[in-house]
Structure 1
Amino acid sequence: MAESLLLNNRYRLLTIIGEGGMATVYRAQDIVLGRTVAVKVLDERRADDEAFLARFYREAQAAANLDHPNIVGVYDIGQDGNRHYIVMEYVEGRDLKELILESAPFPIERALTIAIQVCTAVGAAHKTGLVHCDVKPQNILVAPDGRVKVTDFGIARALTSTPAVEGGDVWGTPDYLSPEQAAGKRLGPPSDVYSIGVVMYEMLTGRLPFEAESGLALALKHLRQEPAPVNELNPRVPPGLARIVHKVLAKEPSARYRTASQLAQILINYHRAGEAMTTVQRPVVVRREPQPVKLVPPSEERVGDYEEETEWEEERGWDWVAVVLGAVALVAVLGLAPLWTLVYNRYARLPPPTAPPPAVTLAGDEVLVPDVVGMDQEAARRLIEATGLQFMVIDEQHHETIPALAVISQVPTGGQPAKRGAVVEVIISQGQDLLVVPDLIGQAVEVVEPQLMDMGFAVERREEWSLMPIGTVLAQDPPANSVVSRGTTVILALSSGSRLPLEANLADEVLLVSCDLDRVEFRPGETVQLTLHWQALREMSEDYTVFVHLTQADGQLVSQQDIQPLGGAKPTTSWIPGEMVDDPYELAIPVGASPGIYWLKVGMYSQNTMKRLPVVEPGRARAERDSVLLGQIQIIP
């Protein structure tokens, strides 16, 4: 990384510490405050995509509003040219996934210490109305001293936001998806609690609760299967802790702990109780009347049920707070008496209600079929069988609105008579039709595009300069193995070959259509060869000069060539509107040029006024001070 690569003359990018499909994270130096920071830089190829930018800045805004010692802090957010970035707290350490792969299963003490810190961090987000939606070990950083930091709120959603899958948005990582995420339901804090449970399971056993060959198969397992108890895979896990993990991994959100903060308190209480059972206890004097005491030997089986705690207090006289509250309640009830009288008089004068429709007459061996459409499969089964009927699943289908494992339809329908023992046939929902995005990088678009469309995806192409063969997939969004809904648009960044599309409009007189550049790495003393492709938009009355400049990231000029097109053989006054002009250049790199990243910039100017033609529309390029930025090259030693 070049010493000269600065963002807004403040953040010097030093080394890459993490890379993803949409952004790269650097260790950087804040030269103003003199501190080390982490800078997440959005992929420049996404800088013109409003959806990507919205997602990128949503992460910054979500995390910036969270002030907690276990959440990676956000210091700054900004833009330098085409680079959008977030400046974050730098955490010296490793991500939890690396540690799990290296040494799991963890000792119980270590797993609890990490889990409690993760829970307090995510719980702080819940208190502000945010759901993280992507809790996984890769987003949990562990410092050498054991401190834990949760990061990456890139897909965090407000508790009042829309359901998990909307317009093809990517939500979560298949290994850590909650059942409601997999089903495309609205998410709440219990979804993060489930994901934390998966992380705990992995720390305690060294493996994930579910494994499958595809993301879709994983999502279905989260929806339908029960994981093996953690203490079966690791007998060192006490039964009490195993029960907590089992509860956290419940399929129904209501069966889990409500928030990460509640789970944190459960784990803290469990930890304290475990310590208390192995520590010499000091006698405690309690001023109470003698009571018969049932002696129970200490047993680990008593550890793990901490949702209700008993606090021993001294017996006291009158509870005056309760007396006052009771008096207030009595006054309120008496005050409602006139209202009750008014309501009674009003409804006493209403005409009698019409008779209900006649009830269905049942034979002695008949019952009414319950209406179970929309009910959970198991609840529907219990109700049908309790009525004296048989329950039979005849099909499973995807459904846009009815969640997975709920009843779509039934025969006979609800309210109809049927003989005892008759079969009620139901169709069960598989939830939204979810698809797993395949890995497309490096493949030819002619091959992958028909495959994607056959699978049910929409496809959007975007061309980018590359030395790869034309049509090769350079990047994709959503990333590989993402679980998304049918109809999601997959954006493919395709190689345009060595020809860089630009389409930059200069003064409505000439269009810089593209540029050919067949190399991006050079050594000092070598020559950059490029060809500019111009198109005249109208007749020009002046012979303009083309400039080709090589600059450092801070704008300092390193090398330049200023000359009329084709070395003066094709002046702009001779161009015919619509004519294409191929204009080659050679730019010498100084022998003493320092290794680093440099910019190629081009444009035209008038020799009479020495003013550049304004870039009225940069097209697919970037413009800076009426010069078109072709891109970066790297000078290597």
Structure 2
Amino acid sequence: MTTSSTDPLIGRLIDGRYQVRSRIARGGMATVYLATDLRLERRVAIKVMHGHLADDSQYRARFIQEARSAARLAHPNVVNVYDQGQDGETAYLVMEYLPGITLRDLLMEHKVLTTMQAMDIMEAILSGLAAAHKNGIVHRDLKPENVLLADDGRIKIGDFGLARAASANTATGNALLGTIAYLSPELVTRGVADARSDIYAVGIMLYEMLAGEQPFRGEQAFQIAHQHANDTVPTPSTKNPRVPAELDELVLWATARDPEQRPRDAKAMLDQLHETEALLRLEEPTAATAIQRTMIMPSAVAAPSSTGDTQILSPKARHRTGPILTETANTLALKSDRRRRKGFWLFALVILFAALAGGTGWYFGTGPGAQVAIPDLAGQSPAAATTTLTGLGLTVNPTPGETPSLKVPKGAVAQTTPAIGTRVPKDSQVTLLVSSGPKNIAVPTLVGEAQNAAIQNIKDAGFRYDSKASSKQFDAKVSKDTVISAFGTDALDLTTVTTYGQNQPISLVVSVGAIPDVAGKSVADATNILTAVKLTATPGRQEYSDTVPSGSVIGIDVANGAVIRPGDPISLTISKGKEQIAVPDVINMTWAKAKQTLLDAGFKPSYNRAADAVAFVVTVGKTDPAAGTMVDKGSTVKVNFNSF
């Protein structure tokens, strides 16, 4: 079980009923959480569709289909579905919670299972699947990850997200659904699935449990798909000699390339599994599995010292005592003989038509009638994709097309025409569809909005809010918690565009208001005020001030246009008090010249004579304060004139 302290759903109450506790698993379509149903006071597993898929009608319909498909099944080997609904943007599915592991976890730990372990697990899988097939449901995504092994011993199949009506027998569309390692040949070649496609996946899982690995492997998905379509699944005993021939036959039956040669549904395979298990229990046991069984011997049996009493017999003794097998065992032996005779007949038929098969194989394999599947080229450069296609005997349209894509980077191949996975004759022309990036959609109003409202606008419009790239800054003109600007990838200013790529990130610059005014404050007080808004203040340059006392703060030293954010350092301008300068010597100057000299020096000149006319014709005798005296700049200097 995995949890995430940053997951916004953890701790949330969904639909007023389900309290989310922790995260269990995450998949491509949804995340599964452990939750408490407060109404019924029980633990449940709640499956929540990823937010970016909620607006996609195809994914939403598939999610609802899972609920409907599983809810129709009431079987001890199928995970129960309790509820399904929508809470705001959250589409959810409530299921039975099964603490334990998956079959994949078991195979990763033990790799190879014993014959009895494999048959026990297979019996549970087929029992649940038989219920689905009986109700007209094809699972279409059977794999070890979807088989749950509970701590209390229960075995259940789940995840009906790809389930469809068995009677539909329709193609899956351009993209193959399900996991490639378990896809049947008809799904690979024609995109068609029915109950026998599920049987093929079950056969692959049985092979994997017995052999310790999957039958087909490759570096790329199309290589595995090609093997499913063209190769026969080998017997598990080729990898594990301890596998009995009866289980080899069961694997080959379930994984026949022709669906007509497989069991018609899970019930048919389950019946055969029961017969196989009964037959194996009657065969010679190994030292590891030998057990003594208590049997009631009928009086008609011809055996030494036969008394009709209860006797303890080993399997070997039972073979010596005569016809003690049940009618079912006799029937199974006859069926086994018929299968062996059929095998010899098929072998002779293969030899008889070897030449014809060779010619046919050449024609359809490498000759004019050959068909190839267009491989998965998503994410490759057009040049690399062209090389791959021409290597398969296909031609490439020199003029590629374009298609929007959320997953494939711009400029790389996203899809082809015909679609990826389609089988086409050699020499067919394929057109590459190059990703133009995400589809452009309208950018909502963000600047001037409150921060929370802007974030909701981003999500509602189909974009992603990038909290890591978002920032806050001081702005005296914009109110606190209001958006100043918005940006996309590569610092794209979203105020300059009207459309932007779907599901792409958007970051916001949000105002924290104006920087506090600390003019006239002491350095200590100013530092405390600025620390409270997450600014680191330090004393800076000193200046003379006519209004701020010496030692106090004049203001903050910020360059014009500079951006200040919380956490930034900031410099304080400190007052040196009023500037003091010397009174200039204006003695013997006329009043006009003395006045201008005092003004230029930064003083306020005045004189003690009433008539300006007189003052302009006399000369200065002395000043008050006297010339050379240090006084505050801006002080008044009185001028005394010489007498006439």
| TM-score (ref. length: structure 1) | 0.55
- Tell me the distance in 1 between the aligned counterparts of 2:259 and 2:198: 10
User: 1:187-209: per-residue Cα shift (whole Å, max 9, x none)?
Assistant: 22121111101101111111111
Residues in 1 aligned to 2:386 and 2:19: alpha-carbon distance in whole angstroms? 43
Corresponding residue to 2:197 among 187, 191, 202 = 191
- Evaluate the alpha carbon distance shift between residue 112 and residue 384 of structure 1 in structure 2; reply closer, same or farther with a 3 A threshold: closer
Equivalences for residues 366-515 of structure 1 within 5 A:
391-396=359-364, 427-428=368-369, 430=371, 433-436=373-376, 438=378, 440=379, 460-461=403-404, 502-503=443-444
Equivalent residues of 1:14, 1:26 under 8 A apart: yes
Structure 1: distance between partners of 2:56 and 2:349: 46
Mapped partners of 1:380, 1:273: distance in 2: 30
1:490–1:145 CA distance, 2 compared to 1 (3 A)? farther
Aligned partners of 2:151, 2:202: CA distance in 1, in Å? 21
**Is 2:289 the partner of 1:283?**
no
Aligned counterpart, 1:95: 102
Report how many aligned residue pairs link the two structures. 421
Q: What amino acid is the match of 1:66?
A: L
Alignment of 1:448-597 (within 5 A): 460-461=403-404, 502-503=443-444, 520=467, 529=472, 561=481, 585-586=510-511
TM-superposed deviation, 1:30: 1.9
> Shift of the alpha carbon at 1:229?
1.9
1:136: which partner in 2? 143
SS state of the match for residue 94, structure 2? strand
Q: Tell me the SS of whatever aligns to 1:119.
A: helix
Closer/same/farther in 2, CA of residues 262 and 101 from structure 1, 3 Å limit: same
2:194 is the alignment partner of 1:254: no
Distance 1:248 1:295, change over 3 A: farther
Q: How far apart are 1:268 and its partner, in Å? A: 2.0
Q: Which runs of 5+ in 1 are unaligned?
A: 288-292, 311-377, 399-425, 441-446, 465-469, 532-544, 548-559, 567-577, 589-637
Shift of 1:115: 0.5
Q: Return the offset for 1:148.
A: 1.1
Partners in 1 of 2:374 and 2:44 — Cα distance?
A: 38
CA RMSD of aligned residues (A): 5.1
Q: How does 1:203-214 map to 2 (within 5 A)?
A: 203-214=209-220
User: What are the Cα deviations for residues 283-323 of structure 1, in whole angstroms up to 9, with x where unaligned?
Assistant: 23679xxxxx9987999xx989749889xxxxxxxxxxxxx
State whether residues 77 and 87 of structure 1, in contact with CA within 8 Å, keep that contact through their aligned partners in structure 2.
yes
CA distance in 1, matches of 2:84, 2:433: 28
* Cα deviation code 1:507-566 (max 9, x no counterpart): xxxx989799985269xxxx96399xxxxxxxxxxxxx999xxxxxxxxxxxx8479x89
Q: TM-score, normalised by structure 2?
A: 0.54
1:40-79 counterparts in 2 under 5 A? 40-79=47-86
Q: Which residue of 1 aligns with 2:20?
A: 13
Per the TM alignment, residue 380 of structure 1 is displaced from its structure 2 partner at its CA by: 12
Does the CA-based 8 Å contact 1:78-1:85 persist in structure 2?
Answer: yes
Say which one has the larger Rg: 2
Instruction: Report if aligned partners of 2:75, 2:128 keep a CA contact under 8 Å in 1.
Output: yes
Q: CA deviation at 1:28?
A: 1.8
> Taking structure 1 as reference, are residues 47 and 487 closer, same or farther at Cα in structure 2, changes over 3 Å only?
farther
| More helix, by proportion | 2
Task: Say if 2:148 and 2:156, in contact at 8 Å, map to a contact too.
Answer: yes
AA of the residue aligned to 1:585: V
Displacement after TM superposition at 1:137 (Å): 0.4
Name the residue aligned to 1:367.
none
Summarize the Cα distance change of 1:165–1:280 in structure 2 as closer, same or farther, 3 Å threshold: same
Tell me whether 12-21 or 66-75 shows the greater mean CA deviation. Answer: 12-21
Which structure has more relative contact order (CA 8 Å, sep 6+)? It is 1
Residues 442 and 498 in structure 2, CA contact (< 8 A), matched pair in contact too: no
| 1:26–1:39 contact (8 Å) kept in structure 2 | yes
Are residues 22 and 472 of structure 1, via their aligned partners in 2, closer, same or farther at CA, if it must alter by over 3 Å?
Answer: farther
Q: How far 1:72 moved relative to its partner?
A: 1.1
Offset at 1:71?
0.9
1:176 is aligned to: 182
CA contact (8 A) 1:41 1:84 kept: yes
Q: Contact between 2:33 and 2:47, CA under 8 Å: does it hold in 1?
A: yes
Give unpaired runs (5+ residues) of structure 2.
Answer: 284-290, 302-318, 337-347, 390-395, 424-429, 448-452, 486-496, 500-506, 514-644
Provide the rounded CA distance (Å) in 2 between the counterparts of 1:164 and 1:487.
22
CA distance in 2, matches of 1:305, 1:546: 88
Q: Work out whether residues 176 and 187 of structure 2, in 8 Å CA contact, stay in contact via their aligned partners in 1.
A: no
Cα distance in structure 2, aligned partners of 1:164 and 1:392: 27
Q: Tell me the distance in 2 between the aligned counterparts of 1:134 and 1:491.
A: 28
The corresponding residue for 2:40 is 33
**Is 2:87 the partner of 1:146?**
no
Q: Report the 3-state secondary structure (helix = DSSP H, G, I; strand = E; otherwise coil) of the residue aligned with 1:142.
A: strand
Classify 1:174/1:158 alpha carbon distance in 2 versus 1 (closer, same or farther; 3 Å): same
> Any idea what SS the aligned residue of 1:18 has?
strand
User: Which string of whole-angstrom CA distances, capped at 9 and with x for unpartnered residues, describes residues 215-259 of structure 1?
Assistant: 212122122223332123212212222222222222222222221
Q: Partners in 2 of 1:103 and 1:23 — Cα distance?
A: 28
